[in-house]
Amino acid sequence: MHFSTQDLEEAASLVHKVVQPTPQHAWPLLADHTGCEVWIKHENHTPTGAFKVRGGVIYMESLKTENPSCTGVIAATTGNHGQSIAVAAANAGLISVIVVPRNNSSGKNRAMTAQGARLIVHGEDFQEAFQHAEELSEELSFHMVPSFHSKLVLGVASYGLELFRSINDLHTIYVPIGLGSGICGVIAAREALGVTTRIVGVQAEGAPSYALSFEAKRPISTNRVKTFAAGLATRVPDSEAVAFINRHVERIVTVNDTQILEAQALLLRDTHNIAEPAGAAAYAALVKERHRMLNKKIAVILSGGNAERDNLLKILSSAAFEENTDFNQ
């Protein structure tokens, strides 16, 4: 999976017709907690509240060219991928059907429906929803949109391109990993531009498939996931993503749900930005590794802001939301 600078620029020009470039800000209060310069890439500021819509735009553009007779698409998701496909499909004039597992985020479900998708609820987790979506794609003769694909990565890489061209001399970027398109997009942008910034992947302790795959140097699945970070809740990694990530990242860090909730609280308290659990995971990893990153210039990907009401209530009542929270000890 290799893209030239021209590939990235052409994709970004298409993405920016739907998604304006998102900001990256240095936040002094976040730096106070970590002892380093902290830049946040605000992918919570896209029209869907998450980065994945960028990939959906490029995937649908490619699908229209390669399969002009296609009338509809289907995908499985826990939310942000589904919103991406719903928005991108509507933009391309296609019908979209999205399969979600039971107990999925009600807010994300409502958003996908409002964005034009037909919603189907099936299965206990993402993997079961995905298998059902594959079956439905044959029944409906709709194109099955994978959750990981080089075209999705190409679109997502536009945020990496924006970040690298806005901020020079970044030492390390922390990127959350769900199925891998986000971190692969950052890698693709770094490789195309020839910069030396290190990339660290972040997973939930209760969903460590890519961390295990990194250690084993091959894809490792888990029997179940146990984390409130739905965007990280992957138990079967994509083999192509594993190979690409393992070749290019510095390491993969895991954080627990308590650390993620603390990071959500700090992001809300000190930047007034809402981060969903997966969106806060990268900052949680930086806080965990703060002694390793002292005095360095660090970027953190806030990949999405679609937090649920119950989650927000926990953030507001958490100890980390109090003014006296200090991790520099």
Judge whether 283 and 266 are in contact, CB under 8 Å: yes
Single pTM value for the model = 0.93
Class of domain 53-144: alpha beta
Asked if pLDDT for residue 220 goes beyond 70, the answer is yes
The tokens of 249 are what? 């990242």
The residue with tokens 């698409």 is 73
CA distance linking residue 46 with residue 122, whole number of Å: 28
Residues of the chain with CATH 3.40.50.1100: 5-51+150-321, 53-144
- Residue 79: the pLDDT is 73
Measured in whole angstroms, how far is the alpha carbon of residue 266 from the centre of its chain? Answer: 19
Separation between Cα atoms, residue 104 and residue 125, nearest integer Å: 9
pLDDT of the residue at 329? 42
Mean pLDDT along residues 286-303 = 97
Give the model confidence (pLDDT) of 47-102 as tens digits: 999 999 999 999 999 999 999 999 999 999 887 889 999 999 999 999 999 999 99
The pLDDT-based confidence of 249 (bands split at 50, 70, 90) is very high
Q: Which of 81, 93, 87, 92 is nearest to 114 (CA)?
A: 87
Q: Residue 103's pLDDT is what?
A: 85
Per residue, what are the HEC states of 90-135?
Answer: HHHCCEEEEEECCCCCHHHHHHHHHCCCEEEECCCCHHHHHHHHHH
Domain 5-51+150-321 class in CATH = alpha beta
Looking up tokens 């970044």, which residue turns up?
Answer: 170
Dist. CA 55–CA 154, nearest whole Å = 7
pLDDT in tens, 158-208: 999 999 999 999 999 999 999 999 999 999 999 999 999 999 999 999 999
Digit-coded pLDDT (tens) for 118-162? 999 999 888 899 999 999 999 999 999 988 999 999 999 999 999
Does pLDDT of 325 surpass 60?
no
Amino acid at position 113, single letter: T
Supply the pLDDT for residue 327. 53
